[in-house]
Structures are given as C-alpha cells and as structure tokens.
Amino acid sequence: MRALSKDIVMNDTLTPFIDAHKTNKTHLTVENLNVHIYGKHILKKVNLSIPEKQITCIIGPSGCGKTTLLRCFNRLHDDNSEVKVTGNIRIGNEDIYGSHVEVTHIRKKMGLLAQRPTVLPMSIYDNVAYGPRLYGIKRRRKVYEIVKHQLMAVGLWEEVKDRLKSPAVRLSIGQQQRLCLARGLAVEPEMILGDEATSSLDPLASTKVEELFVKMKDTYSIVLVTHTLRQAKRIADYVAFMYLGELVEFGRAEEVFNNPKHKLTQQYLDGSFS
C-alpha cells in the first residue's frame, strides 16, 4: 500500500483534469479542492469537471475520499466544524463555497441519494411533498401534481397510489430508495448525487434504480459514488478513479476501463487491490 501511495506522489502526470473532455459541456468544476478532517488531509488537490447530462461514476477503494468529495458538492460538511474545505467548486458559474451563496440554494440544485434510503418520518405523499412545501408551494392541487409526476418518474406511482398516506417506512428498501429519488427530484435539482445508492438494495431493486439513472441523464447530470466496478461499467459515461485522496484518473468510461493511462487504475481494475 505504501509503495502504491509513493507511486502517486512521485507521478507528475497527475495534472488537473479540467477540460480533459471537450465533447460535453461542463456542469460542475472542481479546482484545487483540499479537505482536512480532524487535521487529516483527506482530499488532496482534486481537479475535476463533471460533464452535463452524463453519468459520472467515482470509483476507488474504501477510504479514498469518494464520499467526502461528493459531500463537498452540496456542502454537507458545513455543519461539521472539524472539516476544512479549501479550493473552488462551481456549478455553472456559481461558486458553491462563495461567501454570498446560500447553502440551501446550492443544496436545492443537487438531489442526494444516500447509501441507505433515508425516508423522512412521514407518509409517502408527504415525503415527496416535503421539498416543494419548503419552497412555498402550498396549493393542494399543485403539490399533488408534483408528487404524482415524480412518483411516476421513478416508477413508483402504480405501486403506491392507493396508499399515499401510509408511512414511508412501510415500503420495501428498494421502493424507499426510489421514493428518496422522487423526493429529491421534486425540488427540481440540476444534478443527482448518489452515494453508493444501490449498495443496500437487492439486485432487482438495484437494476431498477440503475435504469432510472440511465433514463434520467437526459435531464440531469448524475454523479455516482460506487463500490461496484460492474455497475460503473454498465452505466457510466465518465469515470473518475480516486486513490488515497487524490484523483488518479478521469476520462470517458470506455477509455478508463479499456485503456487506463495510470498504472494504479489498471491495478484497481484488475482487482489487485480493492
């Protein structure tokens, strides 16, 4: 492990990956991002551009900083005073960490899907209506339309339309995760962030969520942290490989999987370490 880490540090080819791909418009740009948690350097000078309306998968072994990176995108580290974030992240032209930027405004732009589905302690209907109501949509008809539309978008409407008022915790785990997705979509985000969003689901439910991601990339930019290489191979358009807090390689999925530029990526893909 130590040898591998040395390998990264010594390799000068770890150039910024900004504009590494010209074909797609950049939606989110990360520049010189450093994150320290409890004084420990977790993310080291990460540079990355997330393309618009594509699926970008962040892969890498456990503890490499994938989730930390993802959580920087919607400022979920804000409440932890032990986390220090420096560098720039821009969504479009807006600086996410800009001093004048409201954190709620940024978070609204990113629908987050956690590892385990986290339904709110309320009914199925209220879960989806939660976001729109926060933003002042009070008219019942309007709220109902949003709920119906988003539940249909995630393929849950037919399954739950007769029990919209029953507690969301009663749904199966797979249904709960799709409900969380619908809830996130109801605030009309620009991006969807998934933190190993299918890891707690059974294969069938997992496939359903994957299919949804593929379907939704026409509308949203999607960033997924994933442990499963096979999943990344199935759905990713772009892949970022991270190792020990550094971004080792980033590029189009087929290039990274078939012809990785970095030795570490190759070793990870071969299963030499995980």
Partner 1 sequence: MMGLSLFSIAVLLLIGLVLFLYSLPTLRDNNTFHLFFTSSWKPFKGEFGFGAFIYSTLYVTFIAIVMAFPPALLCALYMSEYATSTVKRVFSPVIDLLSGIPPVIYGVWGTLTIVPVISEKLAPHFVDFSTGYSVLAGGVVLAIMILPLIVSILIEVFTAIPKGIREASLSLGATKWQTVKKVILKKSLTGIVATVVLAVSRAFGETIAVLMVCGNFTDIPQSVFDACYPLPALIANNYGEMMSIPGYESALMFAAFLLFIIIVIFNAGSRLVLYRIKKNSQS
Report whether 73 contacts 222 (CB < 8 A): no
- With CB under 8 A as the contact rule, the residue among 6, 86, 98, 135 that binds partner 1 is 135
Task: Give CA 107 to chain center in angstroms.
Answer: 12
Hey, which residues does 88 pair with through a beta bridge? 31
- With CB under 8 A as the contact rule, the residue among 51, 60, 65, 111 that binds partner 1 is 111
Indicate the residue among 187 and 248 with the shorter CB distance to partner 1.
187
The answer to whether 174 contacts partner 1 (rule: CB under 8 A) is no
Report whether 193 contacts 74 (CB < 8 A): yes
- With CB under 8 A as the contact rule, the residue among 110, 156, 171, 205 that binds partner 1 is 110
- With CB under 8 A as the contact rule, the residue among 86, 104, 172, 272 that binds partner 1 is 104
The 70-99 contact track toward partner 1, x by CB under 8 A, reads ----x-x--x-xx-----------------
DSSP β-ladder status, 221-225 and 55-59: parallel
- With CB under 8 A as the contact rule, the residue among 134, 152, 173, 214 that binds partner 1 is 134
The answer to whether 112 contacts partner 1 (rule: CB under 8 A) is yes
The answer to whether 178 contacts partner 1 (rule: CB under 8 A) is no
The answer to whether 163 contacts partner 1 (rule: CB under 8 A) is no
Q: Which residues bind partner 1 (CB under 8 A)?
A: 74, 76, 79, 81-82, 104-105, 107-108, 110-112, 114, 116, 118-122, 130-131, 134-135, 166-167, 169-170, 180, 183-184, 187
